[in-house]
Amino acid sequence: MSKACRIMIVEDEPKLSSLLHDYLTAAGYETALHADGNKVVESVQAKPPDLMLLDLMLPGKDGLSICREVRAFSNVPIIMLTARVEEIDRLLGLDLGADDYICKPFSPREVVARVKAILRRIAPQDGGSAPILLDPDRFAATHAGKPLGLTPVEFRLLTTLAAQPGRVFSRNQLMDILYVDHRIVSDRTVDSHVKNLRRKITDAGGNEEWLQSIYGIGYKIEW
């Protein structure tokens, strides 16, 4: 399976937390739940998530303190959930170091959108999640230090897919991106490049399941 981003949800209202869990899971994230503020900081220390959704009002330790304490040792992105708009200004003034603030009631889609936005923003510095490193400048792809030795087309293909892990690209989309001049090539050409790419990935010690085909749809990267 994949190494999806882990989102920690700290929210005492069960309906809200399960709603968030469902939407985030559907968007390809893993979730970790805390219904009160008691063990949150320890949990973040033990197993740091990739992002935190932190309710302000909590039984046990409140979100404000949690945010401060976490910030003392971690730069993990934090989105604060607040009950009232007016609070946001106050929180901004406190300079907690949270990355975003969302006011209840919120649409789960909006939350997912902001999560995606933040994770995307910090993605470049987050090299840990992707087992294959891509360096456009050097035109080099490496896995565990081993260079894959990709051809130009293979490199563009991998870069495209890896830019949005989990998203499925149709062959037409891939060809549009691979060939800016919109030349007409056979669908099977993509298959061929995928085949070669998979071989080079496994040759370098990678997992061939990283590059998955979705029957009747296209291809995606999942790690």
Partner DNA sequence: CACTTTCATGACGACATGGTGATCAGCGAA
Partner DNA sequence: TTCGCTGATCACCATGTCGTCATGAAAGTG
Q: Which residues bind DNA (CB under 7 A)?
A: 149, 151-154, 171, 179, 183-189, 191-195, 198-199, 213-218
- At its nearest, how many Å lie between a copy of itself and the CB of residue 42? 10
Region for 216 from its dihedrals, namely left if φ exceeds 0, alpha if ψ lies in -120 to 50, beta otherwise: left
Which residue is associated with the tokens 């997992």? 207
Q: Could you tell me if 158 and 134 are in contact, meaning their C-beta atoms sit under 8 angstroms apart?
A: yes
User: Which two tokens mark 107?
Assistant: 């649409």
CA–CA separation, 65 and 68 (whole Å): 5
Confirm or reject binding of residue 94 to a copy of itself (CB under 8 A): yes
Contact between 55 and 63 (Cβ < 8 Å): yes
Is 26 a binder of a copy of itself (CB under 8 A)?
yes
Choose between 45 and 151: whose C-beta lies nearer to DNA.
151
Q: Which does 5 bind (CB under 5 to 8 A by kind): DNA, a copy of itself, none?
A: none
> Per rule CB under 8 A, is residue 179 in the interface with a copy of itself?
no
Q: How far is the CB of 43 from a copy of itself (least distance, A)?
A: 11
How crowded is residue 40: how many other Cβ atoms within 10 Å of its Cβ? 24
Cα-only R_g, the chain = 21
Locate 39 and state its tokens. 């063990």
User: Which residues are near a copy of itself by CB under 8 A?
Assistant: 2, 19, 21-23, 25-28, 45, 48, 72-76, 94-95, 105, 107-110, 113-114, 116-117, 120-121, 125-126, 128, 131, 133-135, 137-140, 142, 144-145, 151-152, 163-164, 166-168, 170, 172-173, 176, 214-217, 220
